[in-house]
Amino acid sequence: MTANGALFGRLTDADDERVELLRSVIDCMPSGVVVVDMDGDLVLYNAAARNALASRFVPLEVCWPDREVFDIEGTRRLEPSELPLARALQGEICDDVELTVRTKANKTAMLRVNARPMLQIARGTLWAVAVFQDIGEEIDAARHQRELERQLAQAQKMESLGQLASGIAHEINTPTQYISDNVRFLSDAFEAMARYQGEVAAVVADGAVEAEAAERLDGAREDAELEFYAEEVPAAIRQSLEGLDRVASIVRAMKEYAHPCDTKEPTDLDHVVKTTVAMSKNEYKYVADLELELAGDLPKVACVAGEISQVLLNLVVNAAHAIAEAGRERGVIRIRTSAVDDGVQLEVTDNGVGVPEHLSERIFDPFFTTKAVGKGTGQGLALAFDVVVRKHGGRLDVRSTQGEGSTFTVFVPRNAREAPAA
Amino acid sequence: MRVLFVDDEPNVLAGIRRMLRPRRHDWDMRFVTSGPEALEALAAEPADLVVSDIRMPGMSGVQLLKEVRARWPATLRMVLSGESDRDALLRSVGPTHQYLYKPCRPDALIAALERMDAMLDLLQGAQIRAFAGTFDSVPTPSSAYAEAMAVLDDPEGTPARLAAVIGGDAGMSTAVLRVANSAYVGLSTPVASVQRAITLLGMDMVRALLTVAGVLRSGSDHPAVGRVLAGGRDAVERVRPFLVDVDPEVAQQTELAAMLRDVGALVLLGEAPEDYAPLLDLPAEERAREERARYGASSAVVGGYLLGVWGLPAPVMVAVARQTEPPLEDGTPQALLARALAPREAA
Ligand SMILES: Nc1ncnc2c1ncn2[C@@H]1O[C@H](COP(=O)(O)OP(=O)(O)OP(=O)(O)O)[C@@H](O)[C@H]1O
Ligand SMILES: [Mg+2]
C-alpha cells in the first residue's frame, strides 16, 4: 500500500508518535476516512476504508472518477467535478451527500459522504478529507417501509375502487336503461310521424286537395325542414344507441377491473385490449391517438384477464407520458396483437422520448422512475413484470431508440405456468 | 300476458312503458315503484310475470320476489337490475327465473318477455304452473355434488374436468347454464355447453353458485333420481350417431336436450318420490298420459317450461318439451332427439 508510504513521506519524521496516535484513532472509527492531496492522489485512509476496499467494493470512487458513481437513486451518473472530494478540494463543505457507487463487478454500494477542505498551512496547499458510511441497509429498510405503505395504499385503493365501481355502475346503469328505452320509443314515434307525413304528401300529390291548401301544406313542409329531419333523425337515434352501447361496455369493463377474478381462464386477448382501451381513454386522449391492430382470430391463452388488463393499462399510461415528455405534436400509441408460436404477443408502441440504452434493464426495477414526484412511483413496469413473467410465465421486453420511441412487448404463453419462485 | 314492472326509479318505468307501447295489445302492463305497492297490486289482480329491480329502498327486489313465490307461485319472476356484481346475482338466484342486467337493450327485454309469454302458452293450467313455480332447482344426487366439489377443491382442477362431472348431472347443469345464459354474462349467443358456461363464470363463481343453487334437496338421493339421470346419459349416447354431420351448435343443443330430457320428471320426483317413481316404469306414451291425468301436463312439458323460464337456449327447451312428439322441423334438436329416442321406445 503505497498510500501510507506517501503519508509518511510527506510528513516530517519529528512527529512519529503523533502519527501513530492519529492512525490508531482513525482506524478505530467505524466510518471510512480518506484523505487526498490537491491532485486528488490518495494520502491516507483508515481501516474501515481499507476493509471496504479489500472486501466488497472500492470506496475510493468517492474521490476517483474512473469508476461509476451515480446519485442515490442510481439514475444519473455524477460528473467528476460533482464528487464530494473534488468539491472539497474547491473549498466547498459537503455534508451528507448520498450516492451510489458501482464497481466493475457490477456491485453497488450506497454511501453517505461528508467531505471537508483541509488547509495545509505548512505546505501552502489544500487537501481534502472525506468520511463515509455505508447506508445500504438504511435505504433498504426505508424502501421496504415505503413498499409496505404502498401495498397497503394500493389495497385500500382497490377496495374503495371496487365499492365505488359497483355504486357508480348502479348509478350509471339505471339512467342508461331509461335513456335507451326512450330513444327506442322516439325512434318508433318518429317513424309513425314520418309515415303520416308521407301519407299527407301522397294525398297532396294525388291532387286530392284544393290547390290553395296544397300550396299551404307544401310551404309548411318546407318551413319545417322535414326533409332534413327525415334524414338526420334516424341517424341521430342510431348514433345515440351506439353511444349507449359504449357506455354499457365501459361500465362492464369497470366492473371487471374492480372485481378482478384471480383464476386463469382461457382468454381472448383482443377482448382484453378492447375493454382496457375503452376504459383508459382518459389517460392518453389529450396527447395521442390510439391505433389498434388486432389479430382478430387469436388463440385463447390461459391468463387472469384483469391482471393482463392492468399491465396493458400501465404500458399505455407510460406511452402517453413518454409522448407528452417528447413535447412534439400529438403522438401515436399503437397496440398490436398477434399469434406467435406457443402463445400470444401484445405490443405497445409509442413515438415518445424513448428509453436510454443504459436504463433499459433498470426501468423494470421497483421504484425506478424518471418522473417527477406525484407523477410516477416507478411501480408500473415492476408490476407488469411480476404479472407477465412470474405469474404467467411469459416475457416482457423493450426495444427503444432514444428520441424516437419505444415498443414494449408482452408475450403470454398459451398454457401459463407460474414461473418457479426465484 | 299480465306483467307487473317494479322499479323505484319512475323514469325507468316510464321508459319501459313508452318503449313497449307497440305491444300494448299483447300485454297488459302495470307499473309500480316499490315492493309493498307491488304486493298490493298483485293482491288486487295477480300477474303472470313480475319484473323487478333489486336495489330499492324498504323492500328489496329479492324480498319481493320471495314473497311473490310464496303467495303467487304461478307467477313468473324476472329481475332487471342495475347491480351487476356477482353477490347481487347469487342472492337472487333462488326466487328468480331470469336475471336481466341494466342497461338491457330494448330488443333483449322484448325477447325475454316474449319468451316468458311463450312459456305461459306451453304450460297451461294454473295448478301445474303454480306447482312448477315453486321449483328453484333440479335435485342432484349428493354423490355427484360431492364429486363436483372435489374437483373445485383440487388445485389441479380444470373447467374441462369439472364439466365432465357437472355435464352428467341435470341439476348442476341447469344451475350453471341458467346463470351463464342470464344477462349477467352479457352474451348475445346462448350457451348450450356446460364447459363453456363454467369457463365464462369462472371456477370460483361456479362454486359459489352450486352452494346457493339448492340442488341438494328433497329427493336428491332417491334411487329413482339416479336411474333417471342414467337415462339422460343413455339418451346422449343414443343421439350421438345422429349428430355426425350436423352443425356443431345444433349438435351441442341436441346433446344438452338429451341430457336434460327428464328434468320435469326429476322435479316431480323431488316433490313426491314415492308417488312419482312407479310412473317411470311405464312406456313413454302411457307415462305421459298418466302424467297429464295427474298433473295436467306431461313431465316433458314441465321440463321444457322450466328450461324455458330459466332462459336456456330455445331449441333445447323445444326439444325437451316435444321429445315424444313427431319431429317438427328437420335438422332441429327437437327432430334429432325425437328421432333418436323414437325407435327403441316404440319397440
Ligand atoms: N414508453 C416509455 N417510453 C420511455 N420511457 C419509459 C416508457 N415506459 C417506461 N419508461 C421509463 O421507465 C420508468 C419506469 O416506468 P414505470 O412504469 O415502472 O414507473 P413510472 O411510470 O415512472 O411510475 P408509475 O408507473 O408507478 O406511475 C419511467 O419512469 C420511464 O423513465
Ligand atoms: Mg408507469
Q: How near does any CA of chain B get to the CA of A237, in Å?
A: 13
pTM for the whole thing?
0.62
Please state the rounded mean pLDDT for residues B281-309: 91
Per the CB < 8 A criterion, the answer to whether A301 and A413 are in contact is yes
- Name the residue at shortest CA distance from atom 29 of ligand 1: A369
Per the CB < 8 A criterion, the answer to whether B95 and B75 are in contact is no
Please state the rounded mean pLDDT for residues B228-252: 90
Among the CATH numbers 3.40.50.11810, 3.30.565.10, 2.40.37.10, 3.10.129.10, which is that of A261-422? Answer: 3.30.565.10
The pLDDT score that the predictor gives to residue A5 is: 42
Highest mean pLDDT among A211-215, A336-340, B104-108, B321-325: A336-340
Partners of A171 on chain B (C-beta within 8 Å) are 82
Return per-residue pLDDT of chain A as tens, 422 residues. Answer: 334 444 444 555 566 788 788 888 888 888 888 888 888 777 888 888 777 654 444 445 444 545 677 788 777 888 878 888 888 888 899 999 888 877 656 667 788 889 999 988 888 888 888 898 888 888 888 877 877 776 666 656 556 666 667 777 778 888 999 999 999 999 999 999 999 999 998 998 888 888 898 888 888 888 888 888 888 999 999 889 888 877 877 776 666 555 445 567 778 899 889 878 876 777 788 899 999 999 988 988 888 887 888 899 889 999 999 999 988 888 999 999 999 988 999 999 999 999 998 888 788 887 788 887 667 777 788 888 888 887 788 899 999 998 899 999 999 998 755 444 33
Residue with cell string 337493450: B105
Q: Which domains does chain B have, with CATH numbers?
A: 2-122 (3.40.50.2300), 142-212 (no CATH), 223-346 (1.10.3210.10)
Please state the rounded mean pLDDT for residues B57-78: 94
The pLDDT score that the predictor gives to residue B188 is: 56
B70/A258: higher pLDDT: B70
Map residue A355 onto helix, strand or coil.
coil
Which residues keep their CB under 5 angstroms from ion ligand 2?
A: A 318, 380
Hey, CA dihedral for A62, A63, A67, A72, is it positive or negative? positive
Pairing mode, if any, of strands B49-52 and B28-32?
Answer: unpaired
Hey, CA dihedral for B158, B164, B169, B175, is it positive or negative? positive
Q: How many helices (H) and strands (E) does chain A have?
A: 10, 13
CB burial of A135-170 (b: ≥16 within 10 Å; e: otherwise) equals beeeeeeeeeeeeeeeeeeeeeeeeeebeebbeebb
Express each pLDDT in A212-245 by its tens digit: 988 888 888 888 888 888 889 999 998 898 888 7
Map residue A168 onto helix, strand or coil.
helix
- What type of residue sits at position A47? A
Cα angle value B25/B31/B34 (rounded, 5°)? 160
Under an 8 A CB cutoff, do B84 and A251 touch? yes
Express each pLDDT in A363-389 by its tens digit: 888 778 888 766 777 778 888 888 888
Under an 8 A CB cutoff, do A173 and B102 touch? yes
pLDDT band with cut points at 50, 70 and 90 for residue B344: low
DSSP state of B272: -
Residue with cell string 351506439: A242
What is the distance between the alpha carbons of residues A37 and A119, in angstroms, rounded to a whole number? 10
What is the distance between the alpha carbons of residues B174 and B310, in angstroms, rounded to a whole number? 8
Among candidates B273, B183, B280, B278, which has minimal Cα distance to B231? B280
What is the predicted ipTM?
Answer: 0.76
Residues 181-240 of A with CB under 8 A from B: 181-182, 184-185, 188
The pLDDT score that the predictor gives to residue A227 is: 86
The pLDDT score that the predictor gives to residue A157 is: 59
Under an 8 A CB cutoff, do A181 and B82 touch? no
What is the distance between the alpha carbons of residues A278 and A265, in angstroms, rounded to a whole number? 21
Among candidates A260, A278, A257, A276, which has minimal Cα distance to A268? A276
- Name the residue at shortest CA distance from atom 7 of ligand 1: A318
Asked if the model's pLDDT at residue B305 lies above 90, the reply is yes
User: Which one of B12, B21, B83 has the shortest CB-CB distance to A178?
Assistant: B12
pLDDT band with cut points at 50, 70 and 90 for residue B346: very low
CA atoms within 13 A on the CB side of B92: 33
Hey, CA dihedral for A312, A316, A319, A321, is it positive or negative? negative
Architecture of the domain made up of A3-134: 2-Layer Sandwich (3.30)
Under an 8 A CB cutoff, do B15 and A169 touch? no
DSSP state of A286: T
Express each pLDDT in A125-144 by its tens digit: 888 888 988 888 888 888 77
> What are the cell numbers at B333?
334438436
The pLDDT score that the predictor gives to residue A408 is: 97
The pLDDT score that the predictor gives to residue A161 is: 61
Kindly report which listed range (A108-122, A212-226, B82-96, B202-216) carries the lowest average pLDDT score.
Answer: B82-96
User: Which one of A179, A181, A252 has the shortest CB-CB distance to B16?
Assistant: A181
With a CB cutoff of 8 Å and minimum separation 6, the contacts of A9 are none
What is the distance between the alpha carbons of residues B7 and B75, in angstroms, rounded to a whole number? 18
Per the CB < 8 A criterion, the answer to whether B148 and B170 are in contact is no
The pLDDT score that the predictor gives to residue A1 is: 37
Q: How near does any CA of chain A get to the CA of B82, in Å?
A: 5
Per the CB < 8 A criterion, the answer to whether A60 and A46 are in contact is no
Q: How far is CA A38 from CA A8, A22, A248, A340, B315, in A?
A: 17, 21, 73, 62, 94
% chain B with pLDDT above 90: 57
